[in-house]
A and B are shown apart, each in its own frame.
Chain A
Amino acid sequence: MNVVVCVKQVPDTTARKEFLPDNRINRAAVENVINPFDEYAIEEALRLKESQGGSVTILTMGPPSAEDSIRKALAMGADSGVLVTDPALEGSDAWSTALVLSRALARLDYDLVMTGMESTDARTGLVPAALAEQLKLASLTYASRVEIADGKVRVNRQIPGGYQEVEAVYPAVVSVVKGVNEPRYPSLKGIMAAKRKEIQKLGFSDLDLPADSAGKTGEKAKAVEVTPRPEKPAGEVIRPDSPEAAAGAIADFLQAHKFI
């Protein structure tokens, strides 16, 4: 079972964001981490490798500094990494990200592609299914359990109120939810071993794509304006002296806002 895990490097949510003049986030100015959801995908891939044999490859599109995230995944136990990095890819949206990842995957050998369910910065959750469409594969999304049997991949796909079993012949694209597993921490030995593992670098010209299919020129969802959330005027603070007074005051408020 050879698994490629798509891992995105994202700005730490707690960091303050700065925007560049063209409305993109200034990634150089913030601390970056592995997209928290992707850690579950990495862990799930490692478990598949442990139970089925095979390899785990990390695929990332991002700036050169995204190599740090790949290194961390290698330290967790992945075998190799591919970093697609090129100034021409800067500013790629979900559509072109999926296209670029699909082209990089065309150069790799895989039985399964795993992704997180969304990235904490873009938060679109659009890449996994779009990637599957580009690869002409099934998209089994929101998996809370992944099982391989009889040439098929079976997942428990989270739906409101429970889950639905969904299966497909692999290769397929599987996105996982938090809670599918508990990601491991890199061990010291893992960190040392990661230093020697290979990270292949691909540029835009390796992908065989027309110039207008990625980066700023390929953008289809174009942010034309960014406005910070307006400061909310401070709300009312009350310190009621009894539970009844508190209940009365909250009920008044809810009634005034037509919630009761």
Chain B
Amino acid sequence: MADILVYVEHEAGQPKKSALEMASKAASLATATGGKVLALALGAGAANTEKRLGQFGVDDLFINDSDVFDRYLTEPQVDAVAALLEKSGSNAVFFPYTPDSKDIASRLSARLSSGAVANVVDVVDDGGHLDARETVFGGNYTTTVEVVNSPVRIFLIRANAFPAEERPKDIQQFALVYEPGPDAQRAVKGKVVQEEGAPMPIDEASIIVSGGRGLGGPEPFTLLEALAQELGGVVGASRAAVDAGWISYAHQVGQTGRTVKPQLYIAVGISGAVQHRVGMQTADTIVAINRDADAPIFQLADLAVVGDLFQIVPALTEEIKRRKGG
């Protein structure tokens, strides 16, 4: 099989978890077929991604740390990925399924007349080429998708789809030469505004503690925050809680919010309407706390706890604290 290219998102040189997950998967696919894992990191600090990427299976790291990537949106990145694909001859590329990478991948798909698959939860070797498994209709169905009539196969991979497994490699670093043209400078980035109480991105979280109308107001969300913090997770919400103004929209899980696939989803005071379920039902493990034994969310739950959230959540946070301490 030809080489697989992994597009690396990083924070000032620290690769995001998605990059390590994708590199691990690419390495296992490539080793089976004698291909290499290539990675591309762009922007300030790109060179510093080398150490971590080398531990997670990357053979060749290409970098370009020009500030164009920090000044302009999407298009310089598309140029760079296209340039590297051409240079390396690789015909499969993994992107994380995040807003930034999604834009890059979809412009790339249009530019190279190549199929892109979103929402990928697995990639399989189908006798010499890669197929994707994708969840559709809110996780109610899984489809196997073959990319055809395309010079490049583009896969957008969900956070937590694969475990990040250490596979130390003798990583080599190369500079990717690329001069941005005027087209690359169409969308100009301005200042970043941090919003008060803006959440961690829930899309990538491994653990989400979500609250619904059952919380009755904004204050009880601090109970969920305390629990989430003990577990190393983040707080999500149903639309009912968001629409009531108890928590911001960025936390909303569901049809008109985010689709999440965490390892653990704890639904607290959420009934489990279909529009909520389609956003979370592919979570690996689901725990629900609800005082109504007939709440539909219980049909999905691996552990269904019938009871009052105001009593159970604080007790649970204490119990976890105690066990971690002991």
- A225 — which chain B residues lie within 8 A by C-beta? 143-144
B255 CB to closest chain A CB (Å) equals: 5
CB<8 Å pairs between A and B, sample of 28: A17-B141, A121-B137, A122-B136, A126-B106, A126-B109, A126-B118, A129-B74, A139-B74, A140-B73, A160-B199, A162-B198, A164-B189, A164-B191, A165-B190, A166-B190, A178-B257, A224-B146, A225-B143, A228-B140, A235-B303, A236-B304, A240-B306, A243-B311, A243-B315, A250-B312, A251-B316, A253-B287, A253-B303
- B186 — which chain A residues lie within 8 A by C-beta? 137-138, 168-169, 172
Interface string of A248-260 (1 = CB under 8 A from B): 1111011101011
A221: interface (CB < 8 Å)? yes
Total number of A-B contacts with CB less than 8 angstroms? 278
Report whether B274 and A13 are in contact in the complex, using a CB–CB cutoff of 8 Å.
yes
B124 CB to closest chain A CB (Å) equals: 11
* Complex Cα–Cα for A259 and B100 (A): 30
Residues of chain A in range 219-255 having any CB-CB distance to chain B below 8 Å: 219-229, 232, 234-240, 243-244, 246-251, 253-255
B188: interface (CB < 8 Å)? yes
Closest to B257 in A: A178
- B319 — which chain A residues lie within 8 A by C-beta? 244, 247-248, 250-251
B114: interface (CB < 8 Å)? yes
Report whether B189 and A220 are in contact in the complex, using a CB–CB cutoff of 8 Å.
no
* Complex Cα–Cα for A139 and B106 (A): 11
Report whether B115 and A162 are in contact in the complex, using a CB–CB cutoff of 8 Å.
no
- B110 — which chain A residues lie within 8 A by C-beta? 95, 98-99, 129-131, 133-134
How many chain-B residues does the 8 Å CB contact rule pick out? 95
Report whether A235 and B286 are in contact in the complex, using a CB–CB cutoff of 8 Å.
yes
- A94 — which chain B residues lie within 8 A by C-beta? 106, 109, 116, 118
Report whether B137 and A236 are in contact in the complex, using a CB–CB cutoff of 8 Å.
no
- Additional 13 contacts, C-beta under 8 A, given A226-B143, A240-B307: A13-B274, A95-B116, A124-B116, A128-B103, A133-B110, A161-B201, A222-B145, A229-B139, A236-B304, A243-B311, A246-B315, A247-B316, A251-B323
- The interface size bin for chain A is 35 or more
* Complex Cα–Cα for A178 and B191 (A): 22
A197: interface (CB < 8 Å)? no
B302: interface (CB < 8 Å)? yes
Report whether B256 and A37 are in contact in the complex, using a CB–CB cutoff of 8 Å.
yes
Interface residues of B (CB under 8 A from A): 73-75, 78, 99-100, 102-107, 109-111, 113-119, 131, 135-150, 183, 186-195, 198-201, 207, 231, 249-250, 255-257, 259, 263-264, 274-275, 278, 281-282, 285-287, 289, 293, 298-308, 311-312, 314-316, 318-320, 323-324
**Given A161-B194, A237-B293, A222:B147 Cβ within 8 A:** yes
In order of increasing CB-CB distance, the 9 nearest A-B pairs are A220-B115, A165-B190, A133-B110, A247-B315, A160-B201, A138-B186, A243-B311, A124-B118, A126-B106
* Complex Cα–Cα for A254 and B149 (A): 46
- A122 — which chain B residues lie within 8 A by C-beta? 136
Report whether A162 and B274 are in contact in the complex, using a CB–CB cutoff of 8 Å.
no
A42 CB to closest chain B CB (Å) equals: 15
Report whether A133 and B119 are in contact in the complex, using a CB–CB cutoff of 8 Å.
no
